[in-house]
A and B are shown apart, each in its own frame.
Chain A
Amino acid sequence: METKSVVPIWFFIGIVLLVYGALITGVSVYDLFVPPARTVVLANLHAGIWWGGFLLLAGLFYTLRFWPAKSDQ
């Protein structure tokens, strides 16, 4: 098996975390202005915004660090 030609798993993980982070941050910011019907404990901490932001940044790092064209060089 030519493993050097396989896109690293970390790239896929980066893409997934990036998209999930963007979705969670986006919907959490939206909920700031239009509060959801179901409220959660510690909603005042806005966990969705900072956790989504963390996933987004981690995803961005992994995506760029393991971008296929870059890792092939």
Chain B
Amino acid sequence: MTTTRLLTLAPVDIVIVALYFAVVIGIGFYLKRHTKTGEDFFLAGREMTAWIAGLAFVSANLGALELMGWASSTYQYGILAMHWYWIGAIPAMLLLGIVMMPFYYICKTHSVPGFLKLRYGEGARMFSAVSFSFEMILMSGINMFSMALVMKVMLGWDLNFSIWVSSLTVAVYVFLGGLLSAIFNEVLQFMLIWAGALLIPILGLIEAGGWNGLVTKIAQRMHTNTYTHLWSTLGSFKDNPMGIHWTGIVFGLACVISTGYWTTDFLVVQRVLSARNLRAARMAPIIGSAFKMAVPFIVILPGLLGIALLPGLVPQSQVSALHPNSYNEVLPLMMARYLGPGLLGLGVTALIAGFMSGMAGNVSAFATVWTYDIYRASIRKNASDKHYVAMGRWCTLAGVLVSIGTAYVVMQFASIMDYVQAVFSFVVAPLFGTVLLGMLWKRASPAGGFWGLCLGTVGSLAMWAWVRLDPSALQYIALSPHAKPMAENMYRALWSCLFCMVVTVVVSYLTKPKPEAELEGLVYGLTKLPSERDLTIWQKPVFWAAVVAVVFVILNIIFW
């Protein structure tokens, strides 16, 4: 145990945390008896309501590092971090619900690589499945290590204890109940995250004198009002703390990275595929988007409150006796500031719940892709359904153990963490280009899809390597020598997606397309959508998407 921990738990806090572990494992044991077939284990029986699928869709993304990381980024960059929740998520979620979900759902695929198999063939599926599996295990290990580090700094818990206890808990409940158990726990975790984190912005706003008082305090502390404006400072790379231009946010983040993530990353798409019918599957991302729009209240607002009420937090590298805390600790510091016995246990439970929901998302998606898109496709093609369920269960356990191994590798080579966002953009951006063209353009051929995906990924890796070898290349990739790493990721994703699409189009015109009969249910114009004529306006997904879109525009104008 270390003496430098930020928080000390009272006995009631420990009871609250322990109770949480007991409940999630209990849910796993309870649901095991309801998980018998492959459809049950990998897709929760395709029986989830729109609300449950929608909350799980958001929760799988709402990890503890998301909460801690973006509160810290807000302290550093101000309200600009909000872009990752609003323009960097909401339009993409609506696109998934309104445009893309029908193709995923009607073709009855088990996974995103499975869709690529139906649309382009085995090559694209295998490339996507292998790169996705690698990404999942790497992300899972990095998140595990980061969470253990947070628990050590916050509570003085031993790194090994945090890694093994929390990951084995996830392994047990996903092993027992598969996606059904993961989804049930994600909904529970979503509620606990809100219950544990909501009090901090409420009390913070009371202390700061409301929103106007907060804005005034931040302007006084930072001697500028750029920390509380979303768009007005994005006209130049030099005018905002993030060193980014609005084109990077709109075209790189909104059009490629976030749209790619929310519409093709199987970790989140799998939750929506579990919906009980097409209408529920289309409503789920729309419901999710409404909640996503509210998440900044518990993530961004604590960061802004930190700027006003906790001055003097410094980068991790500058921590000293004079400045004992880094801005990475802004959320735990706010917890220590406001949360007494009992409430502190709930806050810590919220962080652990966030970590577990993210990790369960990783391992359940990994188990599905491994079992259906790698094992069944190329190792054992004609086994029984029972055999694949058993493979999914053991794969869950193996995925957790490999993730633990990755966490220990990261512990030895901490610089790996600097490359997480880059790895993410290598996989997601070209995949988005391939899936989008596959759904909207019937002329895209199997060879075009495969080569677009491969060369888009290679192109992204090459751009990344170019800037590492010659830093002056940043001015070509990110359009400015002043761009920061985050801006570089945005532009690299944009170029790799465009490159993937150009390659796909050129190769498609040079090669033979699939016959139209084989594209039914997969491509726009060849897919018969069920009529919504009998539905009232309140039952139509497009109506609720419009409501979310209007609120989204109003919020952006208010915080312009």
Contact = CB atoms under 8 A, between A and B. Distances in A.
Contacts of A2: 34
Contacts of B39: 1
B40 A12 contact: no
If over half of B's interface residues share one DSSP class (helix, strand or loop), that class is named, otherwise mixed; here it is helix
Contacts of A41: 203, 207, 337-338
A47 B20 CA distance: 22
B10 A36 contact: yes
A1 B340 contact: no
Interface residues of A, number: 31
Contacts of B398: none
Nearest to A51: B199
Interface string B170-206: 0000000000100010011001100100010001001
B342 A27 contact: yes
Contacts of A28: 340-343
Which one of B15, B207, B342 has the highest number of Cβ atoms from chain A below 10 Å of its Cβ? B342
Contacts of B45: 1, 3
B203 A24 contact: no
A3 B45 CA distance: 8
Contacts of B341: 27-28, 31, 36, 48
B206 A40 contact: no
Given A20-B195, A38-B340, A1 B36 contact: yes
A55 B195 contact: yes
Classify chain B's interface size: 35 or more
Nearest to A46: B340
A19 B15 CA distance: 11
Nearest to A28: B342
Given A1-B40, A3-B45, A13-B191, A48 B30 contact: no
A30 B192 CA distance: 24
Given A16-B192, A23-B15, A47 B199 contact: yes
Contacts of B187: 9, 13
A13 B191 CA distance: 8
If over half of A's interface residues share one DSSP class (helix, strand or loop), that class is named, otherwise mixed; here it is helix
Interface in B306-340: 336-340
A20 B10 CA distance: 15
B369 interface: no
A48 B195 CA distance: 12
A44 B506 CA distance: 68
B537 interface: no
A48 B206 contact: no
Given A27-B12, A42-B203, 19 more contacts: A1-B35, A9-B188, A13-B187, A16-B191, A20-B16, A20-B19, A23-B12, A28-B343, A31-B340, A36-B10, A40-B337, A40-B339, A41-B203, A41-B338, A47-B338, A47-B340, A47-B343, A48-B342, A51-B343
9 contacts: A1-B34, A7-B30, A12-B23, A16-B19, A27-B342, A28-B343, A41-B207, A42-B207, A48-B340
Interface of A: 1-3, 5-7, 9, 12-13, 15-17, 19-20, 23-24, 27-28, 31, 36, 38, 40-43, 45, 47-48, 51-52, 55
